C-alpha cells in the first residue's frame, strides 16, 4: 500500500467515473519514487484502486474512505506536449465543469455537498488490485 496525492481529480459527466490526470508539465516521463510504483499499474488495463482519505479544495463530492478504481481508461499523464490530446480524450466539447447538482452520485447529499466538477488535490492510498 502506498500513500500519495493526486494533482487533480474530476468526474466525467458522461460516465460518472472519476478521472485522474497526472500533471507533468514539460517532462512527461519524470516520475517520483512512489510514482514509479503506481503509475505503471494505474496506466494498465487491470489498474488498481485508491481509497480517498481526504480532499482539499474543489467542488468534487468524494466520501471519505470511498474506494475508486484507477486504470488505463481513467488515468493519464498530461504534459504541455500532449495537452491537446488530453482535451480530445474528454469528448468533442473538451473538458467542462459540471453545473452544480448535475449528476451527483448521492442525491440526498447533493444539497449538503458541492456538486461534481473540477476537484482540488485529492489524497489517496493506492492498493493493488482491481
Residue 90 in domain: yes
Residue 93 has pLDDT above 70, yes or no: no
Average pLDDT (98-103) is 47
Cα dihedral 75/30/35/123 (nearest 10): -70
- pLDDT in the model for residue 87: 62
Secondary structure of residue 24 in the 3-state scheme? strand
Residue 92 in domain: yes
Q: Could you tell me the three cell numbers for 121? A: 488535490
Domain that holds residue 88: 2-101+117-128
Residue 114 has pLDDT above 70, yes or no: no
- pLDDT in the model for residue 127: 43
Average pLDDT, the chain: 72
Cβ atoms 22, 35 nearer than 8 A = yes
For residue 89, give every residue at least 6 positions away whose Cβ sits within 8 Å of its Cβ, in sequence order, or none. 76
Q: Which residue has the cell 517520483?
A: 32
Residue 61 in domain: yes
| Percent of the chain whose predicted confidence (pLDDT) is above 90 | 24
Cβ atoms 49, 126 nearer than 8 A = yes
For residue 123, give every residue at least 6 positions away whose Cβ sits within 8 Å of its Cβ, in sequence order, or none. 3, 4, 5, 6, 52, 53, 54, 55, 56
Average pLDDT (110-116) is 34
- pLDDT in the model for residue 25: 83
Residue 24 in domain: yes
Residue 121 in domain: yes
Residue 112 in domain: no
Residue 52 in domain: yes
Residue 110 in domain: no
Cα gap 22→36, rounded to integer Å: 13
Cα gap 123→111, rounded to integer Å: 24
Cβ atoms 75, 42 nearer than 8 A = yes
What's the domain count of the chain?
A: 1
Average pLDDT (35-56) is 91
Residue 14 has pLDDT above 80, yes or no: yes
pLDDT digits (tens, 9 = 90+) for 53-70: 988 877 888 888 999 999
- pLDDT in the model for residue 62: 85
Average pLDDT (109-122) is 38
Amino acid at each position: 500500500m502506498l500513500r500519495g496525492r493526486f494533482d487533480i481529480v474530476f468526474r466525467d459527466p458522461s460516465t460518472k467515473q472519476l478521472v485522474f490526470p497526472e500533471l507533468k508539465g514539460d517532462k512527461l516521463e519524470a516520475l517520483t519514487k512512489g510514482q514509479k510504483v503506481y503509475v505503471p499499474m494505474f496506466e494498465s488495463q487491470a489498474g488498481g484502486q485508491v481509497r480517498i482519505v481526504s480532499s482539499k479544495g474543489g467542488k468534487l463530492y468524494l466520501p471519505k474512505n470511498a474506494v475508486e478504481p484507477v486504470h488505463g481508461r481513467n488515468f493519464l499523464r498530461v504534459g504541455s506536449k500532449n495537452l491537446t490530446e488530453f482535451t480530445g480524450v474528454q469528448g468533442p466539447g473538451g473538458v467542462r465543469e459540471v453545473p452544480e447538482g448535475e449528476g451527483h452520485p448521492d442525491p440526498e447529499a447533493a444539497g449538503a455537498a458541492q456538486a461534481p466538477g473540477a476537484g482540488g488535490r485529492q489524497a489517496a492510498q493506492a492498493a493493488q488490485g482491481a
